[in-house]
Amino acid sequence: MLAVPDDLARVLHDAPELARAYLVGGCVRDALLKLPQKDFDIEVFGVSYEQLAKALARWGKTDLVGRSFGVVKLTVASGAVYDFTIPRRDSKTSPGHKGFQITFDPNITPRDAAARRDFTINAMMYDPRRNELLDFFGGANDLNNKVLRHTTDAFSEDPLRVLRGMQFAGRFGLTAAPETIALSHSIRHAHGELAVERVREEWFKWASRSTLPSAGLRFLVQIGWIENYPELQAIIGTPQDPEWHPEGDVFTHTCHCCDALVELPEWKQADEECRIVLSLGVLTHDMGKATTTQRVERDGVQRIISPGHEEVGVPIAETFLNRINTPRHIVERIVPLVRNHMAHLHEVTDRSVRRLARRVAPESIEGLCILMTTDAYGRPPKPRRAPAMIGALRERAAALHVQDRAPEPILKGRHLIELGMTPSPDFGPILDAAYDAQIEGRFFTLDEAFTWLAAQPELPLPDSARAALNRPRMDTN
């Protein structure tokens, strides 16, 4: 069933101490889903931690930094790294993800060990010697039926498992079992116990690995955990004009957009950080509608509009992103996507495209086009059809070589130094004005930039620099 790498199979076969070793967790689940198995975790019964470490040392380099969790990392000759653990019992001693007392018990049964895992789909084991699946809690059946079900009531002792359920639902398109919904709902107020780093980790897995992200979002609604994310909760029930959004409220639209995104080849082929940026950008792009939506009458017809929602939504999106502990450099990529996601409504010219490339930096016009495409796709039963302006924008941006990044500034600080200036706060206004002029098409070469600069009396250039500008210059391009 599970294709065990040759070097790992050799260790499992030839080391007598590993006679009761089983592959566990995600690698078993992914094998049943016919997904590539990247990480192999092995649980070893009947030996102590010291015995396990000594046995594995014969097969490669061992790392014992996981001693407190009973983990030995083995690096074999090929460079592959495998995690070996001994079974343990966890006792809840205090609130929070770390509030457990861990006791190692090499004599625990495989069933008892599986019972401490979060969901049935992660509680399966594989015996590589007998080619046998050990499935004590019906995980294979739940996986086949796309059901997310907790393993035992001990699930409630660690509230992080709820967010793990959110990202598993999104990654595998799962629907939670009624008993899992009820148990998760009962601990919805425990969200505050979670370390923000772990919250970010689960949201980032949702953002970078989902195949049906809406399943994860709807799970949060079902269990009441959506109240822990008020910026997201606020768009539930926020109406939209049925002519443009027949799918329903803003939350429904956002779910459809997220699902459309992960189907795009551009998203699938992107690196992990770009997938996170795009997914969180789509998730937050319409959060401003919660406070800007209004009903108006136009030509005797009642309409629903959200004027300025893209700008109003920026601080709301930032609040949400900070709530899930998003690193600043990722927030800075998402914010311009939210602010400019209506750019397809504007005329496409060389000047407008250059200016847009600057406005979306450090993100790219291509990233913005992906977000705007999913915005158009998330309106069923309307057909998935991107506005023609998105195609025109992509074409013009490619012709100007600005589809992946803003234009490189022609005039830079080192050029001002060459004019005899000493670095100072005056550099900022001069370089900003020069870049604006460049975007406007006022100059295209460094020599033209110097000519332009000489003709700007309002800029804080010292007399010596102006004199240098008026002297004949060598070609410095």
Is residue 49 classed as helix, strand or coil in its secondary structure? helix
pLDDT of residue 95: 62
> Do 104 and 86 contact (CB within 8 A), yes or no?
yes
Instruction: Record the pTM.
Output: 0.88
pLDDT of residue 474: 53
CA distance 328 to 266: 24
CA distance 339 to 371: 12
Number of alpha helices (DSSP H) and beta strands (DSSP E) in the chain: 23, 13
Q: CA 213: distance to chain centroid?
A: 11
Query: What are the structure tokens assigned to 99, written together?
Result: 């509030």
**Cα angle, residue 422 at apex, residues 428 and 444 outer, rounded to 5°:** 50
Residues 6+ apart with CB under 8 A from 51: 17
pLDDT of residue 414: 94
Query: How, if at all, do strands 41-44 and 81-85 pair?
Result: parallel
pLDDT tens digits in sequence order for the chain, 477 residues long:
688 999 999 999 999 999 999 999 999 999 999 998 888 999 999 999 999 999 999 999 999 887 888 899 999 999 999 999 999 876 555 565 555 556 778 789 999 999 999 999 999 999 998 999 999 999 999 999 999 999 999 999 999 999 999 999 999 999 999 999 999 999 999 999 999 999 999 999 999 999 999 999 999 999 999 999 999 999 999 999 999 999 999 999 999 999 999 999 999 999 999 999 999 999 999 999 999 999 998 888 899 999 999 999 999 999 999 999 999 999 999 999 999 999 999 899 988 998 899 899 999 999 999 999 999 999 999 999 999 999 999 999 999 889 998 888 999 999 999 999 999 999 999 999 999 898 888 899 999 999 999 999 999 999 999 999 988 765 555
Query: How, if at all, do strands 81-85 and 88-92 pair?
Result: unpaired
CB neighbours of residue 305 within 10 Å: 16
The CATH architecture one would assign to domain 6-149 is 2-Layer Sandwich (3.30)
Unique residue bearing structure tokens 């005899």: 420
In the chain, which residues fall in CATH 3.30.460.10?
A: 6-149
Residue 119: DSSP 8-state: B
pLDDT of residue 265: 97
